[in-house]
C-alpha cells in the first residue's frame, strides 16, 4: 500500500481484441456430448462459488456436456497447466476465467495451433495474438465502475475515497477502477488490493484508516471485501454507512442484507449466474457456428431502498 496521496496503479490498457467470427471446431454429430475443459479460479468468495455452481448446473450430461472442471486456486501457472491438459485431452472447447489479463499468449497459441476454440468466462484478457479466443461472456466491468462513480458524484461530493481494489491486473479490477476513476478519480486519496476476499478487505481497510484518517468513503471492487471493510470500520470505532460510506459491486445476499441494515450505501450488481447462457454459447462454438464477439451479462444497482423480499430472493 502506498501512503500519502494517490496510490493508484498505473493505468493498464485494455486492448480491444480482433475476434474471429467463427469457431474452428468441427461440426459435431447429434448425440455427442460436448467436451468442455473449464479452468475456474476456485472459491475466493461468494460470487465465485455461485458462478461455479451455475456453470456446473448448466454443463451436465443431461444437457449434452462432458465438463472437465479444474479449480486453479487463483494461480496463473495452475490455469496454464490446466489449459495444457485440456489441449492434450483434445477437448472440443476450452473455457476459462483468467485470473489476470496479461500473460496468456503462449498457451492460447498452443490451443489455436491444436484447433481448439477458447471461450473466456467472466474475466477479460489483453493479448496481441490474433484470434486468441472466439468469444467472451461476462459483465461490463467499466460500466459497473461507472455506476458506482455516478452514485458517488451525486451523493457524496467532496468525499475522500479509498479504493479497495480486487486482484491486481484482473479484468474486474482494471475495468471497475477505470470506470470509477473516470468519473471520480480526483476524490480517490488512496488505493490498495484486498484480493477480492473478506479477510483482505478487512486488513487493508484497517491499514487504510491509519494511513488516511480523513477518508469517508470506501469503494470496494466486490462485496466480500466491502463486508470485510465494514468489520474493520467497526473495529476502529467508525460507523459504516454513517461516518464512512461503503459502495460495492456484486450483489450477494449478505451484501444486500448489509445494505438494508444501513452498513453499505450502494451495491452494483454483477450476476454470476450465467451458466445457461454459457451453455448456449459453448454449443454453438462446438458446432462451428458463428457467435457474437462478446455476450454481456446485464446487471442493475441496489441502494438502501432494497426490500426484505429482494434480500430473501437472492440466490447467491
Ligand atoms: O466481482 C468478485 C470475484 O471476476 C466479476 O471476481 C468477477 C469478480 C467478482 O472475486 O467477487
Q: Is the predicted pLDDT of residue 19 greater than 70, yes or no?
A: no
Is the pLDDT assigned to residue 22 strictly greater than 60?
A: no
Q: What percent of the chain has pLDDT over 90?
A: 88
* Cα–Cα separations (whole angstroms), residue 122 to 41, 62, 137, 248, 261: 11, 24, 6, 18, 30
Instruction: Tell how far the Cα of 31 is from the centroid of ligand 1, in angstroms.
Output: 35
pLDDT band at 4 (very low <50, low <70, confident <90, very high): very low
Question: What is the band of 29 on the pLDDT scale with cuts at 50, 70, 90?
Answer: low
Closest by Cα among 47, 43, 20 to 222? 47
Give the residue whose CA is nearest to atom 7 of ligand 1.
172
What's the residue count for the chain?
316
32 CA to centre of ligand 1 in angstroms: 33
Reported as a single tens digit per residue, the pLDDT across 136-162 is 999 999 999 999 999 999 999 999 999
- Rounded to the nearest angstrom, the distance between the alpha carbon of 47 and the centre of ligand 1 is 6
Residue 32: which pLDDT band, with cuts at 50, 70 and 90? confident
Residue 3 confidence (pLDDT) above 80: no
Q: What is the pTM of this model?
A: 0.90
List residues near ligand 1 (CB under 6 A).
44-45, 47-48, 122-123, 139, 172, 196, 222, 249-250, 270
How far away, in angstroms, is 162 Cα from ligand 1 center?
19
Mean pLDDT of all residues belonging to the chain: 91
Tell me which residue has its CA closest to atom 8 in ligand 1.
172
Mutate to test the pocket of ligand 1, among 72, 101, 250, 273 (most ligand atoms within 8 A of CB): 250
The tens digit of pLDDT for each residue in 212-226 reads: 999 999 999 999 999
pLDDT for residue 232: 98
Residue 12 has pLDDT above 80, yes or no: no
pLDDT band, very low/low/confident/very high, at 31 (cuts 50, 70, 90): low
- Quick: pLDDT tens for 188-214: 999 999 999 999 999 999 999 999 999
Domains and CATH numbers, the chain: 34-139+272-286 (3.40.50.2300), 141-270 (3.40.50.2300)
- Testing ligand 1's pocket by substitution, the residue of 121, 172, 177, 228 carrying the most ligand atoms inside 8 A of its CB is 172
Confidence grade of residue 43 (pLDDT, cut at 50, 70, 90): confident
Amino acid at each position: 500500500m502506498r501512503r500519502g496521496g494517490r496510490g493508484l496503479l498505473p493505468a493498464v490498457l485494455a486492448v480491444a481484441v480482433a475476434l474471429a467470427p467463427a469457431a474452428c471446431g468441427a461440426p459435431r454429430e447429434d448425440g455427442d456430448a460436448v467436451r468442455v475443459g473449464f479452468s475456474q479460479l476456485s472459491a475466493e468468495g461468494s460470487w465465485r462459488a455461485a458462478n461455479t455452481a451455475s456453470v456446473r448446473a448448466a454443463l451436465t450430461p443431461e444437457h449434452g456436456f462432458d465438463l472437465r472442471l479444474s479449480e486453479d486456486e487463483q494461480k496463473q501457472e495452475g490455469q496454464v497447466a490446466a489449459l495444457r491438459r485440456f489441449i492434450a485431452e483434445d477437448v472440443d472447447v476450452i473455457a476459462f476465467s483468467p485470473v489476470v489479463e496479461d500473460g496468456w499468449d503462449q498457451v492460447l497459441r498452443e490451443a489455436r495451433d491444436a484447433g481448439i476454440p477458447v471461450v473466456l468466462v467472466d474475466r477479460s484478457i489483453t493479448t496481441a495474438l490474433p484470434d486468441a479466443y472466439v468469444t467472451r461472456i461476462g459483465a461490463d466491468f467499466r460500466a459497473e465502475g461507472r455506476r458506482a462513480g455516478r452514485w458517488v458524484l451525486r451523493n457524496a461530493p467532496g468525499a475522500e475515497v479509498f479504493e479497495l481494489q480486487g486482484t491486481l491486473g484482473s479484468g474486474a479490477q482494471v475495468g471497475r477502477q477505470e470506470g470509477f476513476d473516470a468519473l471520480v478519480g480526483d476524490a480517490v486519496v488512496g488505493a490498495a488490493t484486498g484480493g477480492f476476499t473478506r479477510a483482505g478487505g478487512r486488513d487493508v481497510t484497517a491499514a487504510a484508516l491509519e494511513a488516511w484518517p480523513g477518508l469517508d468513503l470506501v469503494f470496494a471492487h466486490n462485496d466480500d471485501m466491502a463486508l470485510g471493510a465494514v468489520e474493520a470500520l467497526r473495529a476502529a470505532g467508525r460507523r459504516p454507512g454513517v461516518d464512512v460510506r461503503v459502495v460495492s459491486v456484486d450483489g450477494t445476499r449478505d451484501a444486500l442484507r448489509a445494505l438494508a441494515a444501513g452498513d453499505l450505501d450502494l451495491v452494483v450488481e454483477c450476476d454470476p449466474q450465467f451458466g445457461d447462457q454459457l451453455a448456449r454459447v459453448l454449443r454453438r462454438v462446438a458446432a462451428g457456428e458463428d457467435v457474437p464477439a462478446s455476450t454481456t451479462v446485464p446487471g442493475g444497482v441496489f441502494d438502501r431502498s432494497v426490500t426484505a423480499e429482494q434480500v430473501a430472493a437472492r440466490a447467491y
